[in-house]
A = this chain, B = another copy of it.
Amino acid sequence: MISMKTKYALKALGFLARAQGKDAFLIAEMAAAENIPKKFLEAILLTLKNQGILASKKGPGGGYSLAVAPEALPIGRVVRAFEGDLAPVPCLGDGAPVKCTECEDMATCGTRLVMADVKTAVTTVLDGVTLKDMLDRSEVERQKQSKTIDYTI
């Protein structure tokens, strides 16, 4: 299960990507628009900024904006900002592999071998979809939905 932080982050990024008019948006605006607890969103946006995904400007007229174009931002990058490397087991982490406490031999561990495939599968999906792709797919579903409604009225 992904965390609230990740889900809120994706909502907030979607908001920014869709509203490409203004150059910066207030935390309060985004919180209100997407129904996210303001103080919680604050921390989330800060993380996204530290990851280089968002840019911010302080002071009057300031706010947050995308630092990366929606078509250049893989969803995997956003998810990793909050869920860490997408390792199902510690020994499959991206940096120096951390042996599980209960594991005798990392190299031959069956669980590890299988979970390595899981990790590959997950990252392949998440790194293959950009923020723009996600919004487009959402839009397609919305079209389908309204079309269905047109027919049924």
Whether A54 is near chain B, meaning CB under 8 Å from some CB there, is no
Q: List 6 A-B contacts (CB under 8 A).
A: A7-B100, A11-B102, A108-B138, A114-B137, A117-B129, A121-B125
- How distant is A9 from chain B, measured CB to nearest CB, in Å? 10
Contacts of A125 in B (CB 8 A): 114, 117-118, 121
CB < 8 Å neighbour of A126 from B10, B114, B137: B114
What CA separation (Å) do A136 and B50 show in the bound complex?
Answer: 44
Interface size on A, residues (CB 8 A): 41
Restricting to A55-83, which residues have a CB under 8 Å from any CB of B?
A: 75
Whether A28 is near chain B, meaning CB under 8 Å from some CB there, is no
How many copies of this chain are found per oligomer? 2
Restricting to A83-111, which residues have a CB under 8 Å from any CB of B?
A: 87-90, 100, 102, 107-111
Name the 8 nearest CB pairs between A and B, nearest first: A110-B138, A121-B121, A110-B134, A108-B141, A108-B142, A117-B125, A113-B137, A10-B111
Whether A24 is near chain B, meaning CB under 8 Å from some CB there, is no
Do the beta carbons of B1 and A87 come within 8 Å of each other? yes
- How distant is A94 from chain B, measured CB to nearest CB, in Å? 14
Restricting to A1-38, which residues have a CB under 8 Å from any CB of B?
A: 1-2, 4, 7-8, 10-11, 14, 35-36
Do the beta carbons of B118 and A134 come within 8 Å of each other? no
Contacts of A137 in B (CB 8 A): 110, 113-114
What CA separation (Å) do A79 and B19 show in the bound complex?
Answer: 41
